[in-house]
A and B are shown apart, each in its own frame.
Chain A
Amino acid sequence: MRATYFFLVLSVFLLALLAIVVHYYRRRIRTEKYPYGSWEKLLGRFSAVNRENLALIALSLVDEFGQRREDENDADFDEAEIWSMIGGIKGLETLERNCAVLVDLVFYVQQWYPEALAIAEQLRLNAREIEWHIGRLKSAAKTGRAEKAFAEHAEEVVVIYYVMTRRVLALYEEWSLPGLLELQRTL
């Protein structure tokens, strides 16, 4: 009787080991092929944001190439307007999450075009900046200095994010990569 139990348990154990090996082997192959998942899945991770509002705020502060505007612009917004246009701290957190997707979208290209490495690194740096600004905003909110910190950090987040989206679009456009239309609709 004990022998029966032993062989039964042993069979389950060996099958489980085999299943684990097969599962992880397939996962490794998939990871090597698509380190950040398939392109469609990548784009699916993108959370919806109000693109028009973001562009309005960003373009009031910088030009199309991300350079700071020297002149006074008509579309200048006050802090309360910007806060509601970007959806408050939740909106900023969405932008933070989307930054990771933007980096992955460029990394996806880098698998076939190693030249994209520099852009991927630049976007990683930008994503880190955004993370830092949002962290500062949250700390300021805890100490009741949110209003003062908002002007300094939220605008920066929007500008950096907008420039990041333009960089990704420019990369796909320059190399005529598939998926550009979907990207234009999403970003």
Chain B
Amino acid sequence: MQLTGIDLLFWAAGFVAHVILLLVLWIRRRVATFPFFTILIASYIIRTVVLYFTAGSKHAYLLAYLSLGSVDLTLQLCVVYEMASHVFRPLGNWAPDARVRLAWIVFASIAIGAGLTWLSAIPPEHTLLRTILIRGNFFSSVLMTELFVGMVALSVTIRLPWRTHAARIAQGLGFYSFVWILIAAGQSYLGIDRSVRIYADLTYFRMLTYLICAGYWIITLWVDAPVPKALPKEMEEHLLVLQRHVGAYLQRLRTMGR
């Protein structure tokens, strides 16, 4: 497979962006908070290296891309779970009304994603491997976008706020997945023949979008999240008094109930 100068430039930029992002996660101690996201970024570094060395053989490249793509989808789903647990499990337990609704969002997303993937058209001259690749890309992009949109809608409905860093990671992944849908849809219609100009342009556009997202993560994950407002001492004492009052009153109500 022939790589042009611009191909190599995008690969190098992607590699550097991921290494910087991984360093940011490590230095700013975000690894413990976002372990799956860190693994995802580390896997992208490995992927870039593996794909670079398999680029000489078309078949080996496709096989490597496909197998690493499945790992990518699994890790992305783990990141979705990570974001969901940050938003819907703020105090260590799942919000009671979030669990069932989240399950519905997941099922609906899989069903719609599968339906759209089935409907997508594949150029007949493509091999099975390429067809799986195109359909897999399209399905995962639709699924990821739906999951992020669903999570945003659910968090607003049950009024659970997004913590700053989790929100930034989700925004980046959600935006990239949305753009990826358009590109994957284009690929499913036009095919993935690198000699076709439009395919190369779509790939560059996807890479550029991803680099923008990676830059966004580097900046936002480096910056500290705003510190929540502390309760004034006087008000804290007031609440403690009220809490004691509630406790005593509750005791009285229990006695009355007997």
Contact = CB atoms under 8 A, between A and B. Distances in A.
Nearest to B234: A115
Nearest to A32: B161
A20 B149 contact: yes
A185 interface: no
Interface stretch (B9-17, B55-63, B114-122, B214-222): B114-122
Given A17-B178, A27-B156, A28-B156, A6 B121 contact: yes
B171 to A, nearest CB: 11
A18 to B, nearest CB: 8
Interface residues of B, number: 29
A145 B138 CA distance: 66
A2 B253 contact: no
B181 A14 contact: yes
Given A14-B181, A20-B149, A24-B153, A125 B242 contact: yes
Interface stretch (A43-51, A78-86, A116-124, A175-183): A116-124
B42 interface: no
B239 interface: yes
Nearest to A6: B119
Chain B interface mostly? helix
A17 B149 contact: yes
Contact of A13 (B116, B239, B249): B116
Contacts of A144: none
Interface string A17-37: 100110011011001000000
Contacts of A117: 235, 238-239
B159 A20 contact: no
A9 interface: yes
A24 B238 CA distance: 36
A14 B188 CA distance: 16
A115 to B, nearest CB: 7
A14 B146 CA distance: 10
A27 B185 CA distance: 30
Given A10-B185, A115-B235, A125-B245, 9 more contacts: A3-B121, A14-B181, A14-B182, A17-B149, A24-B153, A27-B156, A31-B159, A118-B235, A118-B238
Interface of A: 2-3, 5-7, 9-10, 13-14, 17, 20-21, 24-25, 27-28, 31, 114-115, 117-118, 121-122, 125, 129, 132, 136
24 contacts: A6-B120, A6-B121, A6-B188, A7-B189, A9-B116, A10-B116, A10-B185, A13-B142, A17-B178, A20-B149, A20-B153, A21-B152, A24-B152, A24-B153, A27-B156, A31-B156, A31-B159, A118-B235, A118-B238, A118-B239, A122-B242, A125-B246, A132-B253, A136-B257
